[in-house]
Amino acid sequence: MLPFRIIDRVKFVLERQLVKGAGFQLLVVGLFIGLISLIGGLLVVPQGGEFDDPGAAVWWAFLRLTDPGYLGDDVGTWQRIISTALTILGYVVFMGTLVAILTRWLIAKMEELERGLTPVTLKNHFVVLGWTAQTPPLVAELFGSSGRMQRFLEKHDTQKLRLVVLAEEASAAQLHELQNEPGVGSRAREVILRSGSAIQPDALHRVACLDAAAVIVPSQTHHAGSLVTSDVETVKALLSIAAQARHLSAPLPYVVAEIQDMRKLSVIERAYPGAVEVVAGDVTISRLMVQNVLHPNLSEVYNELLTAGEGSEIFVRGGETAEGLTLAELATQRPHAIVLGLLHPAAGSGWKVNLLAPSDTVVRNEDRVVLLASDYQHTGPDPKVQPLASIKRAQAQAAEQAGPGTHRVLVLGWNRRVPSLSAEFGSYSGRHFQLDMVSAIPLEERQREIARYGVDLDAINGRLLEADYMVEEDLRSLDPASYDTVMLLSSDRIGSGEEADARAMVGYLQLEDILAESLHRPQVIMELSDPDNRHLLYGHQSEMLISPMILSHVLAQVALRRELRVVLDELFTVGGAEIQFRDPHDYPLPASADFQLLEKIVAERGEIALGVFRASADDRGRHLTLNPPRDQYLDLQGGDRLVVLSCG
């Protein structure tokens, strides 16, 4: 075995010291400065002269090494040679190396601070665990919910919304993305970014999770076939929060968690013993898509109700604000809102939804009132406005079921949502569907996913077809014009939401070329996964659904008012109350009627009037008008539809 060379040993020891950080690097440089000063001083001692002892000579050498201004004071050739050498070494070692070490240390510290590794010292704040495509619209929803947010902050005895977002790698890129998000803009600076994973206890401590007023856990993206799914990460995050609370003997915060597989609900409840509301992402979007198949153009309704921006929203108010009033009396005192019904406390826990409750139902203190309004302040009484005339609504009657005909649906594309979408179609036992699901993904793989979800394709008259809708010949062979509905899904098998949406939009344009050659045009529903693409297809003829924006709204609003989740489940699930379109000729409307008269006539059938869907779009491209002023004349035209809430 060859012996180590002395130079290699020295270099190795020196390297091990330098990699220990700025402190050790400064120590090594200090040793070098001392060594050079010692050697320089000893070299001039034999010259005698001004040096009484070696210590004075070493001090002379140190001064020349650290300050070149002393160079002109030296006399004698040898002193000047040594002084010049020391001055040059001073530039290299003292000034160059020392400044470089300090500069690198300062930059590293600034980068460490920018990465968001410092624990926050906040209480009663909002925490979002994870950065996904729906995080920017989620932040916009929280900033935009002014009235509801104010009520939430008052409840937690705080005055200002403070929002902390945990990302895998916090950087200026996320801040820039927030600044470009409508509804956030300059307020992006108010968002505190921290680095880490939601499944790491240190990261949860970094965002002060246990001191938060609400914790939102959006579903993370994952690769197809991965054993660690987004639901696994969600459960691990909840287990980590619960374990941290047990360790510190701290109370558990309120959590809103998104999961993809609703069958994991019992696992969530076992994993987290505290207050938790679960939003089923895949199931929610599947419900909305099937509802849109049953009621064409419904997408514009829930795009208004479930996305940030102008328009109306669903609000839930405490029963103490209307205790002792009947729903009819309450409606007269809310001239800018529509009273939809009540939530009653269920036995044990939870809520019993009673939308379309009889108008003589008395509001109790423990109840919750469900209203439709454009602003939170409109859900309260307005003493400046004359009370409305009382309207008595008849007993709600179930809507007539569709005829025995089969509704043919063509699904183009594949993502993790298809099994839940198939199950949702199967939940409508009174309807008959033919579901053809087309994808380039191998048939065996899709059959396994369908089987794992427990979907019986024969029961829903479903077929799995193997074709690529991006290939024009394959798309033509499917004869899309022969279907009643064509659904274009954004794939989750592609690298990013932008790439997946690009494929879906190109497929849509190709589909439009084929449908233009046919006299029959089916209903076209397109799903997008990147909110930034919402304005690309201007003037499109399809109904567009942007999943992250809708789920962001649901997560944000359920975080602010947890009872809202059961209301949304009621509205967009089979049975119960449903938002439907009606032909104006189905009601005895006079030629000229305002919205208040429409409410009265619709109430005679046990329904609630919500607004009007115009056949022709306005200058902003919108067809829908929800909750218009009571005195506004409707001026209904041919093809216009009424939007009502009725029994499903």
pLDDT at residue 126, rounded to an integer: 93
Q: Is the pLDDT of residue 17 over 70?
A: no
SS3 per residue for 587-615:
CCCCCCCEHHHHHHHHHCCCCEEEEEECC
Mean pLDDT throughout 462-482?
92
Q: How far is CA 75 from CA 12, 71, 72, 78, 260, in A?
A: 41, 10, 8, 8, 84
Q: Is the pLDDT of residue 333 over 80?
A: yes
Beta-strand relationship, 641-647 and 577-582: antiparallel
Report the C-alpha dihedral over residues 32, 37, 39, 45, rounded to 10 degrees: -170
Mean pLDDT throughout 32-60?
74
At CB < 8 A and 24+ separation, what contacts does 396-403 make? 396/356, 396/606, 396/607, 396/646, 396/647, 397/605, 397/606, 397/646, 397/647, 398/647, 398/648, 399/578, 399/580, 399/646, 399/647, 399/648, 401/430, 401/431, 402/294, 402/430, 402/431
pLDDT confidence of 397, banded at 50, 70, 90? Answer: low
pLDDT at residue 88, rounded to an integer: 80
User: How many other C-beta atoms can be found within 10 angstroms of the C-beta atom of residue 45?
Assistant: 17
Contacts of 394 by beta carbon, 8 Å cutoff, 6+ apart: 603, 604, 605, 606
- For residues 289 and 75, the model is more confident at 289
- 540 by DSSP, 3-state: which? coil
Q: Is the pLDDT of residue 20 over 70?
A: no
pLDDT at residue 47, rounded to an integer: 62
HSE-CB for 27 with a 13 A CA cutoff: 11
pLDDT at residue 539, rounded to an integer: 56
pLDDT at residue 227, rounded to an integer: 54
Question: Helices 298-305 and 281-294 meet at what angle, rounded to 10?
Answer: 140
Cα torsion angle, 583, 585, 588, 593, sign: positive
DSSP 60-124: HHHHHHH-GGGGGG--SHHHHHHHHHHHHHIIIIIIIIHHHHHHHHHHHHHHHHHTT-SPP--SS
DSSP 172-188: HHHHHHHHTSTTTGGGG
Mean pLDDT throughout 496-517?
82
Give strand pairing partners of 409.
435, 485
pLDDT confidence of 514, banded at 50, 70, 90? Answer: very high
pLDDT at residue 600, rounded to an integer: 92
- For residues 196 and 19, the model is more confident at 196
pLDDT at residue 214, rounded to an integer: 93
Q: Is the pLDDT of residue 643 over 90?
A: yes
DSSP 553-592: HHHHHHHH-TTHHHHHHHHTSSSSEEEEEE-GGGS---SS
Mean pLDDT throughout 490-500?
67
pLDDT at residue 561, rounded to an integer: 87
Contacts of 361 by beta carbon, 8 Å cutoff, 6+ apart: 326, 327, 342, 354
Say which residue the tokens 């950065």 belong to.
131
Q: Is the pLDDT of residue 264 over 60?
A: yes
User: How many other C-beta atoms can be found within 10 angstroms of the C-beta atom of residue 499?
Assistant: 14
pLDDT digits (tens, 9 = 90+) for 409-440: 999 999 888 999 999 998 888 788 999 999 98
Q: Is the pLDDT of residue 503 over 50?
A: yes
Highest mean pLDDT among 145-154, 500-509, 624-633: 624-633
SS3 per residue for 106-139:
HHHHHHHHHCCCCCCCCCCCEEEECCCCCHHHHH
Q: Smallest Cα–Cα separation from 324: which of 282, 366, 376?
A: 366
Inter-residue contact 422 to 450 (CB < 8 Å): yes
Q: Is the pLDDT of residue 4 over 60?
A: no
Q: Which of 95-99, 321-325, 577-581 has the least mean pLDDT?
A: 95-99
DSSP 232-248: HHHHHHHHHHHHHHHHH
Contacts of 376 by beta carbon, 8 Å cutoff, 6+ apart: 145, 146, 147, 148, 150, 151, 315
pTM comes to 0.79
Beta strands, E only, 498-567:
523-528, 543-546
Question: Helices 281-294 and 547-560 meet at what angle, rounded to 10?
Answer: 120
What average pLDDT does the structure give for the chain? 83
Structure tokens at 473: 């010949």
- Which strands, in side-by-side order, build the sheet including 255-259? 191-195, 163-167, 126-129, 214-217, 255-259, 276-280
Rounded distance between C-alpha atoms, residue 632 and residue 182, angstroms: 30
Rounded distance between C-alpha atoms, residue 475 and residue 527, angstroms: 18
HSE-CB for 112 with a 13 A CA cutoff: 8
Structure tokens at 406: 């089969």
pLDDT digits (tens, 9 = 90+) for 272-325: 998 999 988 888 889 889 988 988 888 888 888 876 667 888 999 888 988 999
- Which strands, in side-by-side order, build the sheet including 406-412? 462-466, 432-439, 406-412, 485-488, 523-528, 543-546
Mean pLDDT throughout 534-558?
78
Rounded distance between C-alpha atoms, residue 54 and residue 335, angstroms: 97
pLDDT digits (tens, 9 = 90+) for 620-634: 778 899 999 988 888
Contacts of 588 by beta carbon, 8 Å cutoff, 6+ apart: 601
Mind listing the domains of the chain with CATH numbers? 6-114 (1.10.287.70), 126-274 (3.40.50.720), 406-549 (3.40.50.720)
Q: How far is CA 154 from CA 253, 416, 564, in A?
A: 17, 40, 19
Inter-residue contact 545 to 528 (CB < 8 Å): yes
Q: How far is CA 544 from CA 289, 488, 539, 549, in A?
A: 10, 10, 11, 12
pLDDT digits (tens, 9 = 90+) for 375-394: 888 888 877 778 888 888 87
Rounded distance between C-alpha atoms, residue 279 and residue 296, angstroms: 25
Q: Smallest Cα–Cα separation from 420: which of 242, 230, 262?
A: 262
- 358 by DSSP, 3-state: which? coil
Contacts of 493 by beta carbon, 8 Å cutoff, 6+ apart: 224, 414, 415, 441, 500
Inter-residue contact 616 to 605 (CB < 8 Å): no
pLDDT at residue 1, rounded to an integer: 43
Rounded distance between C-alpha atoms, residue 130 and residue 215, angstroms: 11
